[in-house]
Structure 1
Amino acid sequence: MAGHSCGDEHHQHGDEQTDAERANAFSLYLKIDTESVMCLNEAVDNSGKLVFKPWNERLNREKFVDSDVDEELLFNIPYKNRPSMTFDDVSCEPDQEFDLNPDPEGRLEYPTKVARFNQVEHLSIFFPTNFGAENSRIYYIGLRGEFTEMKRHGVTICNYETQANPSDHKTNLLDQMGHIIH
């Protein structure tokens, strides 16, 4: 698709990168707790987990998720345990919305508002509709970005005095106060 212009400035085609560079850029799938990924309205239990895979496997059509009752799919993607969204929550204001385009080659990229996604611990992705089919089918979701390991500080046990005990604070200041200055 080199030189292709679809007239949509909301995404990038990224043809300027080699496949190896693109594969490295989509390395966040390794940081996803895939066993804890939840997909609501999936036709087959746990099939939503299958669409998070390496970029070089994005064209594998053996692993996919189909929607069940209608075209809606809601993915809850934990980087650690956090509360998950339900369909009751999708009416809330999203951090960002994307107008998706058909992408059978898995090459379209949608730029995010970086400030909105700093320090993400849990990500929910809602697909409210598709391109006209009764149900939705997704083969691949790639997440791109930099991962920073959270540094946790353990509990520090501290003792605080509510009233100082003078015998705990040995000093010669009291001795100096008794001297007369001429």
Structure 2
Amino acid sequence: MPHEHNHSHCHDEGHDHDHDHDTNDLGPQDSLYSYIDRSNVVALNANNPGEIVIKPWHERTDEGKSLESDADDQMIIRVPFTGSVRLRSVLLKTGPGDRTPSKVQLFANQENMDFDDIEDKTPTQELDVAQGREVGEYAVKTAKFSNVSSLTLFFPEGQGADTIQIYYLGFLGHWTERKNNPVITVYETQANIADHPKVQGTEGNFSSPQS
């Protein structure tokens, strides 16, 4: 009988936690806050550094600190992660009212983009931002954000006011350490190429006695 009892636990061995479940299940345990390289977050055209709106989960509704665009209603926030992230959704608290961005464009793994670069690039995904006092959760196409080391958010325009304002920016998903597999694959490919001349040389040895 003990074997049957153990058997009931076998579903725990699977990667159930890795499968995409309904975003309604997401919560503090899925927050990527601790995996953001916060000292290297950059906000462009902002009235102060961007790190202050990337807050711990329990401060997501706090309005004590915010980020406002400076010269116009555009802003870029660059967010590097400390590993590889599979992004599930972006959390935003913005506004109020006309100071809400009309949309946000997400760019995965595009380092050091500024306003000049961004005009020529196609976003990985674009999301419309709704007005409201709550923290909005915006689900992304996980397949396009399955191996993200940095995320650039571009807010191209507001909803009427001269500036946009952001109170909170957060991310939900899964974090893994950066994998070394791609590097190993490259070495294997190079090794295979190096092997071919040896094979040809061996054939030459076989034919030499007949010449």
TM-score (normalizing by structure 1): 0.68
Structure 2 residue 44 is the aligned partner of structure 1 residue 40? yes
Q: Which has the higher helix share?
A: 2
User: Which among 30, 35, 48 is matched to residue 31 of structure 1?
Assistant: 35
In the other structure, the counterpart of 1:122 is 150
CA contact under 8 A between 2:69 and 2:165: conserved in structure 1? yes
RMSD of aligned residue pairs (Cα, Å): 2.7
Alignment of 1:65-144 (within 5 A): 65-80=67-82, 83-91=111-119, 92-106=121-135, 108-144=136-172
How many residues are matched?
143
Give the Å deviation of 1:61: 1.3
Q: Structure 1's 125 and 116: CA in aligned 2 closer, same or farther, altered over 3 A?
A: same
Work out the CA distance in 2 between the residues paired with 1:22 and 1:121: 21
The gaps in structure 1 that reach 5 residues or longer are 1-13, 164-182
Answer with 81-90 or 95-104: which moved more: 81-90
* AA at the equivalent of 2:67: V
In the other structure, the counterpart of 2:53 is 51
Q: For residue 79 of structure 2, give the secondary structure of its aligned residue in structure 1.
A: strand
| Deviation string, structure 1 residues 131-164 (Cα, Å, up to 9, x no partner) | 21111110001101111111337999x9x8987x
TM-score (normalizing by structure 2): 0.59
Q: Structure 1's 98 and 82: CA in aligned 2 closer, same or farther, altered over 3 A?
A: closer
Q: For residue 170 of structure 2, give the secondary structure of its aligned residue in structure 1.
A: coil
The gaps in structure 2 that reach 5 residues or longer are 1-22, 83-108, 199-211
Work out the CA distance in 1 between the residues paired with 2:154 and 2:44: 9
CA contact under 8 A between 1:23 and 1:54: conserved in structure 2? no
User: Which among 147, 151, 155 is matched to residue 179 of structure 2?
Assistant: 151
Work out the CA distance in 2 between the residues paired with 1:77 and 1:116: 17
Please identify the structure whose Cα radius of gyration is greater.
1
CA contact under 8 A between 1:65 and 1:139: conserved in structure 2? yes
- What percentage of residue pairs aligned between the two structures are identical? 36
Give the Å deviation of 1:103: 2.9
Q: Structure 1's 101 and 82: CA in aligned 2 closer, same or farther, altered over 3 A?
A: closer
Work out the CA distance in 1 between the residues paired with 2:38 and 2:64: 18
* AA at the equivalent of 1:123: L
Q: Which has the higher strand share?
A: 2
Work out the CA distance in 2 between the residues paired with 1:103 and 1:55: 19
